[in-house]
Structure 1
Amino acid sequence: MNINEFLKEFQSEEIHYMSNPGNGGDALIAYGAFSLFKKNNLTIKIVERNDNLENKILFYAGGGNLNDLYTDCSQFIATHHLKAKKLIVLPHTVVGNDNLLKALNKNVYIICREKKSFEHVSKFTNLNVLLIEDLAFNINPFEDFKLKKTNSRLLYLLNYKTIISFLIKDFNKFKKILKSYKNHKILHAYREDSESSFEAPKNNIDISDIINMDGTMKDEKLVSMTTQGIFSFLNQFETIYTNRLHICIASALLNKNVYFYGNSYWKNESVYKHSIENKFPKVKWMGYEL
């Protein structure tokens, strides 16, 4: 089953959608979701975790939140699964959470974005589990954002709204972006947070952290701006080195040369094997050490 086949069931329903907070990479997932909702003529209402959602159809956004590092997704499920008409977790990586998974019923659907999560959740026969690719793979950057395949214009990325956002967040990061344009061929874009498996080099630009207009992922316009900004920035380079999953995905969709490293657990490798290895030959798996 693909995501469009799954979503057809909900075309006559109102979907109450809970966003998944995160970085610029999560914006690609959110953008993919918003685009799919429109494509499938779905009616969406953005909700908050503590809203009264009894007997509603609930979607929790895709991502990597259902693991021991974060609690947003697990808390939403725990709060609402007993009273929801249906609760669907869009394509996710799932780690642990055994007690929560045991407590769920057949009104809950956990969609996994790679096989290791799917095998883990499938052990719990009290709920529904599906295997569908990460929603970011549904983006076509050249069609969605009219990107040119070769584009070296700095101002294409840095429109005035983007500049203002960067200046407000962190002027030093903004200067780092400007300096990166001295070399248009190679980008090192490693993560610099708890999911990193190694220390990033000094010439690193963690673009998922730098370009992010809305960390809540609730504002569709800002999510779109973030996604376009990331694709536009990556499109300046020929080769990208990264352990950010969605920088890898975005770069692959742009047909770039990618050297893809592992994060602090198996998420990157599992998505690579399921969705990237046999579809994007210019992406090379590099393992867990720089």
Structure 2
Amino acid sequence: MNSNIEAFLKSFVGERVLFAPNPGNAGDSVIACAEYQMLDRLGIDYSVVPLDIDPSKTKGAVIFYGGGGNLVAPYPNARNFISRHHEHAKRLVILPHTIVGYSELVSALGSNVDIICREQVSYDYVSQFVTCAKVHLMDDVALSLDVSALLTSAGISESAWLNRPLRTAKRFVRVLLHRFKNASQRNTLNSFRGDVEGTGRADALANFDVSQMLAADSMSALDSVIAARSFIGFVSQFDVVRTDRLHVCIVSLLLNKEVHFFDNSYGKNRAVYEFSMAGRYPNISWCD
């Protein structure tokens, strides 16, 4: 069951939607950009709301919570938002997520909640605990990103980074350092994570963790576009990408790069690879 998310979301045309993008790194900015594109494409009337919005302001509302990998311990953002808002929302849609944990929350969600899982492992996990909520299985929204449209978005200039001088300077230095360390393999990008989901590969390589290094200050439409454009621009310089970052992999596939994809610490990448990539993208290789 691989339902089309645009077909599903079309049923919300005519509703007023409150959209809470999932926070995170530049990979999450790529997801947010794809979500903004999709909502605009469908003509859905939406307003972006912060994660700390008071539940009194969402009572009786249709809420979309942005996709990602946040319903996994120890990340609290999605859990906290959903816990505070699900009971009194008219509808709460959790856009495609990896979900491993928070079984008590899953079982407490009512029939007004739609949980969209982005791979089979999460779908099977949620199905064990769900009581009333509806469970769906759909691709990660980032796979629908229109790269050409993003790079030509009207009214958003790359000079917007000039209003963020400290972040711009840090980025410039990091890119230069990566070029220096990776001098012998200029056509290959090693982008491995060094956080709690990493498996130690980042320490052994001339590494540039694109998702972390190019992270934005917020998930607003503007900041998401700036971060995603920078992300795409950096990855586009390489022919070969080796990574355990899901959205470095996805962006590389959208750019038709040769991708060598590795798992993260708890199997998320393998699950998404098996559900959404294997057999669909000839330029990807799974690496154990």
TM-score (norm 2): 0.89
SS at match of 1:69: coil
Match of 2:155 in 1: none
- Is this contact kept in 1: 2:109–2:131, CA < 8 A? no
SS at match of 1:5: helix
- Is this contact kept in 1: 2:162–2:168, CA < 8 A? no
Alignment RMSD (CA, Å): 2.2
CA drift at 1:14 = 0.9
SS at match of 1:65: strand
Runs of 4+ in 1 over 6 A off after TM superposition: none
Q: For residues 30-41 of structure 1, what are the structure 2 equivalents within 5 Å?
A: 30-41=32-43
SS at match of 1:196: coil
- Is this contact kept in 2: 1:186–1:238, CA < 8 A? yes
Q: Give the distance between the partners of 2:282 and 2:140, measured in 1 at CA.
A: 18
1:29-72 Cα shifts (integer Å, max 9, x gaps):
00000000100001111123332211111111000001112011
| CA separation of 1:221 and 1:177: change in aligned 2, threshold 3 A | farther
Q: Give the distance between the partners of 1:163 and 1:173, measured in 2 at CA.
A: 16
Match of 1:239 in 2: 240
Aligned to 1:127, which of 122, 125, 133? 133
| CA separation of 1:40 and 1:159: change in aligned 2, threshold 3 A | closer
- Is this contact kept in 1: 2:249–2:259, CA < 8 A? yes
Match of 2:221 in 1: 220
Structure 2, unmatched stretches of 5+, are: 153-157
Structure 1, unmatched stretches of 5+, are: 147-156
Aligned to 2:94, which of 78, 89, 99? 89
Q: Which has the higher helix share?
A: 2
CA drift at 1:185 = 0.9
1:91-112 Cα shifts (integer Å, max 9, x gaps):
0000021111111110011000
| CA separation of 1:171 and 1:257: change in aligned 2, threshold 3 A | closer
Q: Give the distance between the partners of 1:132 and 1:28, measured in 2 at CA.
A: 17
TM-score (norm 1): 0.88
Give % identity: 34
CA drift at 1:121 = 1.2
Match of 2:213 in 1: 210
- Is this contact kept in 2: 1:109–1:128, CA < 8 A? yes
SS at match of 1:101: helix
Q: For residues 1-290 of structure 1, what are the structure 2 equivalents within 5 Å?
A: 1-48=3-50, 49-51=52-54, 52=56, 53-123=58-128, 124-145=130-151, 161=162, 164-167=165-168, 169=170, 172-179=173-180, 182=183, 183-200=185-202, 201-214=204-217, 216-217=218-219, 219-287=220-288
Q: Give the distance between the partners of 1:185 and 1:226, measured in 2 at CA.
A: 22
Give the count of matched residue pairs: 276
| CA separation of 1:240 and 1:171: change in aligned 2, threshold 3 A | closer
